[in-house]
Amino acid sequence: MALRVGVVGYGTIGKRVADAVSRQPDMVLVGVAKTSPDYLALEALEKGYKLFVPRDSLPRFSGAGIKVEGSIEELLQSVDVVIDATPAGIGKRNRRLYEEYGVRAVFQGGEEPDVADVSFCALANYERAMGKRFVRVVSCNTTALARFIAALRLGGIGVERVRAFIVRRGADPHEFRRGPINDIVLNPPAVPSHHAKDVRTVIEDVDIVTIAVAAPVTLAHIHFLHLELSKAVSRADVLRSLKRCPRILLLSSVKGFNSVAQVIEWARDVGRLRNDVPELMVFENCLWVSGNELVAVVGVHQESIVVPENVDAVRAMMGVASKWSSIRRTDESLGLVVEGKVYG
Ligand code: NAD
């Protein structure tokens, strides 16, 4: 029987996750929950998604002439799993409601790790989420770092130490109130940034230090990585591991890829929904290996990198699929690059 899934919070992440769930043959999107009667609510209805809202928001929606299926509580009565994609901190509050209604829940990286039984990145620790009631998909930057480390380890390349310099996008494209507009802001003004601690919630045994700034761009983050490997390897070994690993996109400057804007443009040209690039973008020409040292530059499409992870988290919690079978199903259904990838 198909898994019944609800999505609470229909913003940047929630609307993408709802679309992804509705593409899974083994899942049914029961509905999405929203708090404001805006253009996104209308968009959800146009897609045929049932809309659920907090009880006290019902009059605002009916006043705006927007058809509502019921309250969030009613949504919870009809699902096996809820994916909570509300703004940071709200998920923790919602957890009480999910407990009350006996539903499993997937939270996002804006929540503190203690919101869930396990912090999750499919390539790195799918099995740890098997059968769990509450799972937290880590943030976009943490997913990127965990995925890169996992890709190398899956290829037999040990990673001892990571030093990551992160240039964060200042805002998502729709966030007209955020910045910076003309600055590069220490974000946070501390070393290590919270990302390092967060990576260790997924991969405990890695020595990692992260530093981050926010820049006036909305397209993507970019990471400059310096890794110490457990033994000397060749650049070809690293390239082989990255090429075969799902959810990693190797970008060659021979093909003209020298910036994240070009990759987003490519996604637009090949007809990807919303120009999304859920794969980690690895710029091949900036991959440098010497002995046991590795330097890489990776791009992170913050709006979509966690989307496949949410789908896999549902299967893992429900115990309905093994790691590689879920990852393959998710990737194929979302139109990610699967050619040349090895699943398992
Ligand atoms: P968002 O602000 O774009 O969307 C959140 C949505 O939840 C909004 O539509 C809001 O109206 C709705 N909402 C607020 N309170 C609600 C409630 N009580 N019930 C139902 N809906 C409610 O936020 P986002 O960027 O999608 O972020 C969601 C989560 O995903 C956060 O934890 C964030 O840290 C994480 N995340 C965001 C990004 C990103 O780049 N945007 C990347 C990875 C992870």
CA separation for the pair 191, 208 (Å, rounded): 11
Residues 6+ apart with CB under 8 A from 77: 101
Q: Measured in angstroms, how far is the CA atom of residue 188 from the centroid of ligand 1? A: 20
Burial of 215 (0-12, 13-18, 19+ CB in 10 A): middle
Sign of CA dihedral 289, 221, 148, 226: positive
> Mean pLDDT throughout 173-199?
96
Q: Cα(206)–Cα(114) distance, rounded to whole angstroms?
A: 20
Q: What is the enclosing helix (H) or strand (E) of 39? A: helix 39-46
Query: Exposed, middle or buried, 270 (CB in 10 Å: 0-12/13-18/19+)?
Result: exposed
Question: What is the CATH superfamily name and number for domain 141-300?
Answer: Dihydrodipicolinate Reductase; domain 2 (3.30.360.10)
Nearest atom in ligand 1 to the alpha carbon of residue 111 is 32
Q: Is the CB of 43 under 6 A from ligand 1?
A: no
Please list the helix, strand and coil fractions of the chain in percent, rounded to the nearest 5, in that order: 40, 25, 35
pLDDT given at position 253 = 78
Per-residue pLDDT reduced to its tens digit, 115-127: 999 999 999 999 9
Domain-by-domain residue ranges, the chain?
3-138+306-334, 141-300
What is the distance in A from the centroid of ligand 1 to the CA of 105?
15
Which atom of ligand 1 is closest in space to residue 94's alpha carbon?
Answer: 18
pTM for the model stands at: 0.98
Please tell me the CATH superfamily of domain 3-138+306-334, with its number.
NAD(P)-binding Rossmann-like Domain (3.40.50.720)
Is 18 near ligand 1, meaning CB less than 6 Å away? no
If you average pLDDT over residues 21-37, what whole number do you get?
97
Q: What is the pLDDT of residues 125-159, one digit of tens each?
A: 999 999 999 999 999 999 999 999 999 999 999 99
Sort residue 230 into left (φ over 0), alpha (ψ -120 to 50) or beta. Answer: alpha
Q: What is the pLDDT of residues 87-103, one digit of tens each?
A: 999 999 999 999 999 99
